[in-house]
Amino acid sequence: MIYSQGTKAVQVTIFLGNIPLDVYQLPDQSYKLYTESVTGAIDKQGQDLLNFLRGKSLQALPFKDYNLVHAPKVEVEGQGGFIKPIPVSLATSYWLYQAFKGNLKAQAIAQACMIESIERRADIAFNLKRTEEEYNKRFEEAILLYNRDDVAARRLPGDDLYLPSGIN
């Protein structure tokens, strides 16, 4: 299915902290994501998403019948071309799967997204207004807290003598 003239998707780039993510708003007001920005967010290639869809993980099961190659093309306003964006639920299931497989960046994104989801709702409940810049800064801080590579890089050779590997 190709959307007809006058029903083009609109593209914007949002940020998860400092990670860019291309989002498309379709004519029905739903959102889809650009495959390359989804896989790139966790340092993977587009082919990895295809492998995920072919897999038998619990996270891939809801998308068993989703065929990325034959997905509907969407015309994007102002770009003069077509793309095949993916549903947000597919992107987040892919990230969750990668987090379970040990991808530290996917783990950090998942953790930061959960924190932000709760904080945004709490902000509304307490009538607290934050800017997108503030949310992105908080998101980056949450990713840094979860980034075990950074902690491991700061360990000194003697740390192994008295601190187990998972301890700061």
Q: Is 162 a member of any domain?
A: no
pLDDT at 2 over 50: no
Domain-embedded: residue 14 = yes
pLDDT tens-digit readout, 84-134: 899 999 999 999 999 999 999 999 999 999 999 999 999 999 999 999 999
Residue 111 lies in a domain: yes
Is 4 within a domain? Answer: no
Residue 167 lies in a domain: no
Whether 163 is covered by a domain: the verdict is no
* pLDDT band with cut points at 50, 70 and 90 for residue 69: confident
Three-state SS sequence of the chain: CECCCCCCEEEEEEEECCEEEEEEECCCCCEEECHHHHHHCCCCCHHHHHHHHHCCCCCCHHHCCCCCCCCCEEEECCCCCEECCEEHHHHHHHHHHHHHCCCHHHHHHHHHHHHHHHHHHHHHHCCCCCCHHHHHHHHHHHHHHHCHHHHHHCCCCCHHHHCCCCCC
Residue 1 included in any domain = no
> In this structure, what token pair is assigned to residue 125?
């409940």
Lowest-pLDDT range of 7-16, 23-32, 62-71, 140-149 = 140-149
Q: What is the share, in percent, of the chain residues with pLDDT greater than 90?
A: 67
Quote the domain boundaries for residue 57: 10-154
> How much is the pLDDT for 81?
82
Is 5 inside any structural domain?
no
Sheet-wide strand order for 31-33: 10-16, 19-25, 31-33, 86-87
Q: Structural domain tally of the chain?
A: 1
pLDDT at 158 over 70: no
